[in-house]
Amino acid sequence: MRKKFCPRCGREADKFYGRVCKYCFLEKLSVINKLPSKILIKTCKICGKIYYEDKTFFSLESAIDYSLTKIISLPEISSATYKIKDNVAHVTLKMGLEDLEKEESKSISIVSKSIICESCSKKNIGYFQSVIQLRAKDPLLKIISDEVEEELKIMNRNDPLAFISKTEEEKNGKNFYIGSKQAAVEISRNIKLKYKATVKRTSKLVGELKGKRVYRDTILISLGD
């Protein structure tokens, strides 16, 4: 049988990976340089939400898990494990092709940055898309007001504009300035169903944004005596 030699190192070999021997193949196989040396995680100092790239998280752990899973999702990597110590993720990766396997490890720094997120800065400047005018008497007014606040807190997990930027006490009720139109609609629907309230919604054209008309809603919710 004719002997075969690796074109790269000249070693004699009977199996080739690509066009080279297993030593050359393993030497070239490396993902370390494709991985970042740090990941940046942002935490909002007002609402405490955690951000990595365009995603929102409610715990640092889930943000780190997500970011590491994302950066190690390279086709060469067959398995990966990591442990975190003092803001450094120690990642061990296994790569393989056919009967070959190679292990590499890398330390990735987890850099946290404190920010004010977009939703909190909007809230700070008094941004709103809808005004809920709740008209009721105490104790119902107080009960429903608390429910509105609670509901918005829950909705805020999925809708960053679900917040109250301002409230006004009126002699026959209370006004809520709400960042998200959708959240305001949902809240008014819930109050209507639960308390058999009368709901009247009006929209007002307030301007244009990127060629689209922008409307602000006023939702009047009245509860009879």
Residues in contact with Zn ion by the rule CB under 5 A: 6, 8-9, 11, 20-21, 24, 44, 46-47, 117, 120
The token pair that represents 153 in the structure block: 């807190």
Q: Which is nearer to Zn ion, 28 or 204 (CB)?
A: 28
Q: Which is nearer to Zn ion, 8 or 201 (CB)?
A: 8
- 3-state DSSP assignment of residue 106: strand
- Answer yes or no: are the C-beta atoms of 202 and 218 closer than 8 Å: yes
Least distance in angstroms from the C-beta of 138 to Zn ion: 32
- 3-state DSSP assignment of residue 182: helix
Least distance in angstroms from the C-beta of 66 to Zn ion: 18
Least distance in angstroms from the C-beta of 124 to Zn ion: 9
Q: Which is nearer to Zn ion, 73 or 158 (CB)?
A: 158
Q: Which is nearer to Zn ion, 173 or 179 (CB)?
A: 179
Strand partners, 164: 178
Least distance in angstroms from the C-beta of 74 to Zn ion: 24
Mention every residue, 6+ apart, whose C-beta is less than 8 A from residue 191.
134, 144, 147, 148, 197, 199, 221
Strand partners, 60: none
In terms of Cα–Cα distance, which of 61, 66, 67, 91 is closest to 77?
Answer: 91
